[in-house]
Chain A
Amino acid sequence: MALFDDKVKSQLSQLLSKIKNPITINFFTQGMECPTCQTTHEFVQEIAALNDKISLNVYDFVKNADIAKEFGIDKIPAIVVTDAHKSIKGVRFFGIPAGYEINSFIAACIEVSGVGESLPESILSRIKKIAKPVHIQVFVTLT
């Protein structure tokens, strides 16, 4: 059964039409999929089908352990959105970005496609000065 009905599909299509350059959704799952992995798999398939500029790569967390490591994936289901050059921008989604989180997911797709909002110079200069690795985890629920 489809996750999105026709009405939602058309709304999502409209949002995704803002995508400028091609993007790739890299999805990490495993052979015997956990229930959330299955749902997330359907989710990325349905999203990728909505826009020609979105391609989908499905990786096996176990068999493609080297790729998982390269993308910084230590748990599944996980999604990494990359641009046409397959460059990793650092945004990772662990678990299904459903409910309100679909907004963050769509926004990430649009941003990675090259439609970035520029930051004020005062903020940019602070970001440029960061010398140590930074790991930001944002915990959410789907309610």
Chain B
Amino acid sequence: MIESTTFTPLAVKHNVSSVPKVVINDIYEFVGAQPINVFLDMIEKI
């Protein structure tokens, strides 16, 4: 968990505008709660 207001530069780097925003290995990203298979679909692309 990263609190966006405390770490603004990092949040800006990842274009956080809506939360929760998930960023995987600085490449893949999505917004909102997603089922675990969505995480795995992205992880398997790494």
State whether these chains interact: yes
A104 in contact with B19 given A134-B46, A137-B14, A139-B14 (CB within 8 Å): no
Residue positions of B touching A, CB distance < 8 A: 1-7, 10-11, 14, 16, 19-26, 36-37, 39-40, 43-44, 46
Interface 0/1 of A107-143, CB less than 8 Å to B: 0000000000001000100110110111111111110
How many A-B pairs fall under 8 Å by CB? 83
Residue positions of A touching B, CB distance < 8 A: 36, 75, 77, 92-97, 101, 104-105, 119, 123, 126-127, 129-130, 132-142
CA A105 – CA B22 in complex, angstroms? 17
Q: Report whether B3 and A127 are in contact in the complex, using a CB–CB cutoff of 8 Å.
A: no
